[in-house]
Amino acid sequence: MPYDWPPLTPGNTEEVARRVARVLEDAWQRLADRQRFLLDAVAFSPQAPQVAAQLEDFKAAIADFALRAGSEIRGFVQQQLPWLYQAGATQAAAALGQRFTWSLLHVEALQSLAADTYADFLRCSQEQQRIANALYRAVREAARREVPQLGAGYTTGRQAAKALADRLATDHQLTHVVYRNGARVPVRAWAEAATLTKSAVAYNAGTLNRSREAGVTVVEVFDSADCGWTSHQDPDKANRTLRGVEEAAEWPISHPRCRRGFGPRPDVTEI
């Protein structure tokens, strides 16, 4: 199946986040649709040939999902992140009356940031592939052991086939991203929030590293008026405060979708 989304073009953060979310949601949904077709075959047409054919289609859909999700994740990491990092670094350099160039410091910082970002996104994609492959194996095993006994067409057989499909659907859910705390989040919401978060971190990394390169040790924070320093609820409010560059690097944002930014303050040496 051809990849039918155009390559990602770096640009406006929110537009790119929406684009990434749409593409990843589409990839997830295509895989979930093939899962539904497979389980429908188990439930309503449990003859071995029909299930075997849907199994092969589902196996191909898993590979297609990996291609679609991987392509979009790589596009974001390889194009949008460098664009944002450079924008942040250029802004800091302009505030200092200087120019930005890609020194080794910035190249290495971007490489580290890109590797972390790619790993974070890929982890969720690979978890979906793990679930899908587990379903593939479960249905393949059922096709050998249970499905042949369910194809007679009698009422009890149809009920048993439907129960088997329902159990497989419950055990192998593909429509949400599951966080470490067990929360289930729609793919689009997760992808958009994750993309915005990584975008903010990349922009601020460029700003802070260019400030550090210029010997600046203090930055001014620009944030929402009620946003705390380490979390949105932190009573230590961040906006218009002065922070050390190293402290700012530890907290480039305080929560998903955070709009925090920094400006170099070469006129301040101690806080």
pLDDT digits (tens, 9 = 90+) for 136-153: 999 988 877 766 665 555
Tell me, yes or no, whether 76 and 181 share the same domain: yes
Tell me, yes or no, whether 176 and 225 share the same domain: no
Q: What's the pLDDT score for residue 46?
A: 73
Domain of residue 250 covers 215-264
Alpha carbons 97 and 213: distance in angstroms, whole number: 14
Q: For 211-228, what is the mean pLDDT? A: 96
Tell me, yes or no, whether 57 and 158 share the same domain: yes
Tell me, yes or no, whether 155 and 250 share the same domain: no
Q: Is residue 204 part of a domain?
A: no
Tell me, yes or no, whether 161 and 129 share the same domain: yes
Q: What's the pLDDT score for residue 142?
A: 81
Tell me, yes or no, whether 117 and 231 share the same domain: no
- pLDDT of residue 195 exceeding 80, the answer is yes
- pLDDT of residue 245 exceeding 80, the answer is yes
Mean pLDDT of the chain: 91
Q: Is residue 131 part of a domain?
A: yes
Q: Is residue 202 part of a domain?
A: no
Tell me, yes or no, whether 226 and 109 share the same domain: no
Q: Is residue 7 part of a domain?
A: no
Tell me, yes or no, whether 37 and 123 share the same domain: yes
Q: Which residue has the higher pLDDT, 148 or 230?
A: 230
Q: Is residue 269 part of a domain?
A: no
End residue of a domain, out of 162, 197, 232: 197
Strands 218-222 and 261-264: antiparallel
State the distance between the two ends of the chain, measured CA to CA, in whole angstroms.
Answer: 58
The DSSP secondary structure of the chain, one letter per residue, reads ----SPPP----HHHHHHHHHHHHHHHHHHHHHHHHHHHHHHHH---HHHHHHHHHHHHHHHHHHHHHHHHHHHHIIIIIHHHHHHHHHHHHHHHTT------HHHHHHHHHHHHHHHHHHHHHHHHHHHHHHHHHHHHHHHHHHTHHHHTT--HHHHHHHHHHHHHHHHHS--SEEEPTTS-EEEHHHHHHHHHHHHHHHHHHHHHHHHHHHTT--EEEEE--TT-BSSSTT-SSB-TT-EEEHHHHHH-S-SSTT---EEEE-TT----
150's tokens: 């369910």
Q: Is residue 271 part of a domain?
A: no
End residue of a domain, out of 141, 165, 197: 197
Tell me, yes or no, whether 110 and 228 share the same domain: no
Q: Is residue 209 part of a domain?
A: no
Tell me, yes or no, whether 188 and 229 share the same domain: no
Alpha carbons 62 and 34: distance in angstroms, whole number: 9
Tell me, yes or no, whether 110 and 176 share the same domain: yes
Q: What's the pLDDT score for residue 175?
A: 82
25-29, 46-50, 139-143, 187-191, range with the lowest pLDDT: 46-50
How many domains would you assign to the chain? 2
Q: Is residue 234 part of a domain?
A: yes
Tell me, yes or no, whether 33 and 157 share the same domain: yes
